A and B are shown apart, each in its own frame.
Chain A
Amino acid sequence: MIRKLAMGATALTMLSAVPVMAQDMIDVKLGVLNDRSGVYADLSGEGSVIAARMAVEDFKAAENGLKVEIISADHQNKPDIGSNIARQWYEVDGVNAIVDVPTSSVALAVAELTANMGGVLLDSGAGSTELTRGQCQPTTIHWTYDTAALANGTGSAITKDGGEKWFFLTADYAFGHSLEENTAAVVKDSGGEVVGTVRHPFPATDFSSFLLQAQGSGADVIGLANAGGDTVNAIKQASEFGITQAGQSLAALLFFITDVHALGVETAQGLQLTSAFYWDHDDKTREWSARFEEMHGAKPTMVHAGVYSSVSHYLRAVAETGTTEGPTVAAAMKATEFDDPLFGKGYVRADGRVIHDMYLYEVKSPDQSEGEWDVYNMKATVSGDDAFLPMIDECNFTADKG
Chain B
Amino acid sequence: MATHEKSAVGMPMMHKAIFGVLLVFLMVLPFMVYPVFAMKVMCFALFAAAFNLLLGFGGLLSFGHAAYFGGASYVAAHAAKVWGLTPELAILTGTAAAAVLGFLIGSLAIKRQGIYFAMVTLAFAQMVYFFALQAEFTGGEDGIQGVPRGDLFGLVSLEDNIALYFFVLAVTFGGILALYRIVHSPFGQVLKAIRENEPRAVSLGYRVNRYKLLVFTLSAGFAGLAGATKSQVFQLASLTDVHWSMSGEVVLMTLLGGMGTVFGPLVGAAVIVSLQNYLATFGAWVTIIQGVIFVLGVLLFRKGIVGVIAGWLRHPL
Contacts and interface: CB of A to CB of B under 8 A. Distances in A.
B146 interface: yes
A73 B145 contact: no
B146 A37 contact: no
Interface string B24-46: 00000000001011001000000
B284 A108 contact: no
A226 interface: no
Nearest to A75: B280
A74 B34 CA distance: 19
Contact of B143 (A71, A79, A84, A88): A79
Contacts of B203: none
Nearest to B281: A73
Interface in B118-157: 133, 139-143, 145-146
User: Which range contains the number of A residues in contact with the other chain?
Assistant: 20 to 34
Interface stretch (B58-66, B236-244, B257-265): B236-244
A80 B142 contact: no
Given A37-B284, A74-B280, A84 B145 contact: no
A78 B283 contact: no
A74 B279 CA distance: 10
B236 A173 contact: no
A343 interface: no
B142 A104 contact: yes
Chain A contact residues, majority secondary structure? helix
A79 B284 contact: no
A174 B134 CA distance: 11
Chain B at the A interface: mostly helix, strand, loop or mixed?
helix
Contacts, number: 72
A202 B130 CA distance: 12
Contacts of A74: 280-281, 283
A360 B143 CA distance: 33
A137 B259 CA distance: 46
A245 to B, nearest CB: 34
Interface of B: 34, 36-37, 40, 133, 139-143, 145-146, 161, 234-236, 238-241, 280-281, 283-284, 287
Per CB-CB distance, the 9 closest pairs between chain A and chain B, nearest first, are A173-B141, A105-B142, A36-B283, A37-B284, A37-B283, A80-B238, A105-B141, A78-B240, A174-B142
30 contacts: A36-B284, A37-B284, A37-B287, A72-B281, A73-B280, A74-B283, A78-B239, A79-B142, A79-B145, A79-B236, A79-B238, A80-B241, A81-B240, A83-B145, A83-B236, A84-B40, A88-B34, A91-B36, A92-B34, A105-B143, A108-B145, A109-B143, A109-B145, A112-B145, A112-B146, A173-B140, A174-B141, A174-B142, A175-B141, A202-B141
Given A87-B36, A88-B34, 6 more contacts: A36-B283, A37-B283, A79-B236, A173-B141, A175-B141, A202-B141
